[in-house]
Amino acid sequence: MILLCSVDRQVREHWLNGLAEARMAAEAVADVEQLHRRLNGSRDQMVILHLDMPGVDAVGLVSDLLRQHPTTRIYSMTARPEPMQGVALARAGVRGYGNCWMHPVTLSQSASLIQSGELWLGQEVIQHLIRGVAEGGAAAAVPNPAAAQRLADLTNREHEIALRIAGGENNKQIGNELGITERTVKAHLGNIFQKTGTKNRLQLALLASAVSSSPRSVEFT
């Protein structure tokens, strides 16, 4: 069951209809107080939360919800997504961020991914978070043996791509630097995710950055 929270009736109907088309069970509530009551006593609940409420601080709202219901997976939405708001919300703990009027197919697909433990934050938000890792905002200060072990099975080329991901480069930049196509970069990334047990670029960036506080200077033989 997915809980849908929005003060806007049209938004609630858009979400309910979109999820119903994918045969995903959902229940709508009209305000945050109702949401809190519905979440009391529940675990591992997923919430699609409409952020466009008058006088409400989005990050504060999310932080309060997660403080009271820490196992809840929050998919936050707004009519005007902005990368820096997405970054702030991701740091507060949301699992997803997007446009509240997204296509029903995209809505159901992204909601399903979040239910399964994935992130859905949008490429711009992910890139901002990865740049933060590259600049030391979330990287480990000392080499991490456990992280290094998870990278041990990568080929030299895969190591290089992992470190460039941690440095904030996108697939096109990596391809240009290494003289390979974006398609080849994507193929390498698929292998890297499988070998390291990571599911997305952000998880990989955090893992690679944990090996050293200066990922680009690490050499693998």
Reported as a single tens digit per residue, the pLDDT across 91-124 is 899 999 999 999 999 999 999 989 988 889 887 8
Task: Concatenate the DSSP letters of all residues of the chain into one string.
Answer: -EEEE-S-HHHHHHHHHHHHHTT--EEEESSHHHHHHHHTT--S-EEEEE---TT--HHHHHHHHHHHSTT-EEEEEESS--HHHHHHHHHHT-SEEEETT--HHHHHHHHHHHHTT--B--HHHHHHHHHHHHTTSSS-SS--HHHHHHTTTS-HHHHHHHHHHHTT--HHHHHHHHT--HHHHHHHHHHHHHHHT--SHHHHHHHHHHH-SSGGG----
Give mean pLDDT, residues 66-73. Answer: 94
Task: Quote the pLDDT of residue 149.
Answer: 81
User: Among 108, 104, 126, which Cα is nearest to 116's?
Assistant: 108
pTM comes to 0.72
Contact 137, 51 (CB under 8 A): no
Mean pLDDT of 189-204: 88
Give the pLDDT confidence of 26-47 residue by residue, as tens digits.
Answer: 999 999 999 999 999 888 899 9
Q: What is the pLDDT, as a whole number, of residue 145?
A: 66
State the pLDDT confidence band at 134, using cuts at 50, 70 and 90.
low
| Mean pLDDT value across residues 10-31 | 96
Tokens of 54: 């008058």
- Domain 130-217 top-level CATH class: mainly alpha
pLDDT band for position 20 (cuts 50, 70, 90)? very high
Closest Cα partner for 195 from 208, 209, 181? 208
Domain with CATH 1.10.10.10 in the chain: 130-217
Judged by phi (left if over 0) then psi (alpha if -120 to 50, else beta), residue 54 lies in beta
139, pLDDT greater than 70: no
pLDDT surpassing 90 at residue 176? yes
Q: Where in the chain is the domain with CATH 3.40.50.2300?
A: 2-120
124, 83 Cβ separation under 8 angstroms? yes
CA 199 to chain centre: 10
The strand pairing partners of 99, in sequence order, are 78
Q: Give CA–CA dist 111/118, Å, rounded.
A: 9
The domain made up of 2-120 has a fold known as: Rossmann fold (3.40.50)
